[in-house]
């Protein structure tokens, strides 16, 4: 049986498109939520220290447990369509990783930047939005992009809960053949698309790092 028929290719590319959609929204939401977590952990002190401790517990909980565990947990406990479930599962896990990356960026900003913002009359949130966060994200872009590739690759775990992402649709097509050649062809197709996407992101990271180094 011919593997790469128009229907099979369209089916697999549809799965690839779903992978991109899930990864995109999970990454964006994880950056937003991770930024909030990082700010709370880094800057909540004194009477607000309890919030910093809660965030620290959240981060450690998800960093020390496997992503697949939370995918399965969300799948069995949350009702919704497969995209919503997938994005939620990846967001709650990846936010913990993003929070630590962003907090590392905060630590790289000299204290004089905070003091200068305060001396100019900026409040905390204005200082964050206009001065600290732009510098922080400029510093951590390589690490953020690296985590993006991890999210894209780990989206293949969703095949285990029958989400019709790229790996799942490829397995469906693969099941139509009993020959080793067909299996290898499908795996090769999966390899090429994942590699092209993630290698492209890696090239962007390298270009950015060279640009920063030359500045």
Model confidence pLDDT, tens digit, residues 131-186: 889 889 988 998 999 999 999 999 999 998 999 999 999 999 988 887 788 889 99
What pLDDT is recorded for position 1? Answer: 57
When mean pLDDT is compared over 20-24, 118-122, 132-136, 185-189, the highest value belongs to: 20-24
Indicate the class that CATH gives domain 6-214: mainly alpha
Handedness of CA 107, 110, 111, 116 (dihedral sign): negative
Average pLDDT, the chain: 90
Q: How far apart are CA 83 and CA 15, in angstroms?
A: 12
Summarize pLDDT for 37-81 with one digit per residue, the tens: 999 999 887 778 999 999 999 999 998 999 999 999 999 998 888
Sequence-ordered list of residues with C-beta below 8 angstroms from that of 206, at least 6 positions apart, any chain = none
- Return the closest-CA partner of residue 36 out of 111, 91, 112: 91
Tokens of 74: 């969300």
Helix (H, G, I), strand (E, B) or coil at 178: coil
What pLDDT is recorded for position 58? Answer: 96
Q: How far apart are CA 139 and CA 118, in angstroms?
A: 22
Question: What are the φ/ψ torsions at residue 82 (nearest 5 degrees)?
Answer: -65, -30
**Domains in the chain: boundaries:** 6-214
């Amino acid at each position: 049986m011919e593997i790469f028929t128009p229907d099979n290719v369209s089916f697999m590319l549809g799965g690839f498109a779903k992978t991109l959609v899930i990864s995109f929204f999970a990454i964006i939401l994880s950056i937003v939520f991770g930024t909030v977590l990082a700010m709370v952990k880094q800057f909540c002190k004194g009477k607000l220290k309890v919030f910093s401790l809660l965030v620290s517990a959240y981060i450690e909980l998800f960093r020390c447990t496997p992503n697949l565990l939370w995918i399965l947990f969300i799948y069995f406990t949350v009702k919704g369509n497969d995209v919503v479930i997938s994005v939620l599962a990846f967001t709650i896990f990846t936010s913990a990783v993003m929070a630590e990356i962003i907090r590392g960026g905060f630590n790289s900003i000299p204290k004089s930047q905070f003091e200068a913002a305060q001396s100019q009359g900026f409040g905390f949130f204005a200082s964050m939005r206009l001065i600290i966060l732009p510098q922080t994200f400029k510093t951590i872009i390589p690490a953020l992009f690296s985590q993006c590739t991890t999210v894209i690759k780990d989206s293949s775990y969703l095949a285990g809960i029958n989400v019709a992402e790229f790996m799942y649709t490829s397995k469906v097509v693969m099941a139509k053949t009993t020959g080793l050649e067909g299996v290898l062809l499908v795996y090769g197709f999966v390899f090429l698309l994942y590699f092209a996407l993630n290698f492209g992101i890696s090239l962007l990271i390298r270009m950015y790092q060279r640009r920063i180094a030359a500045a």
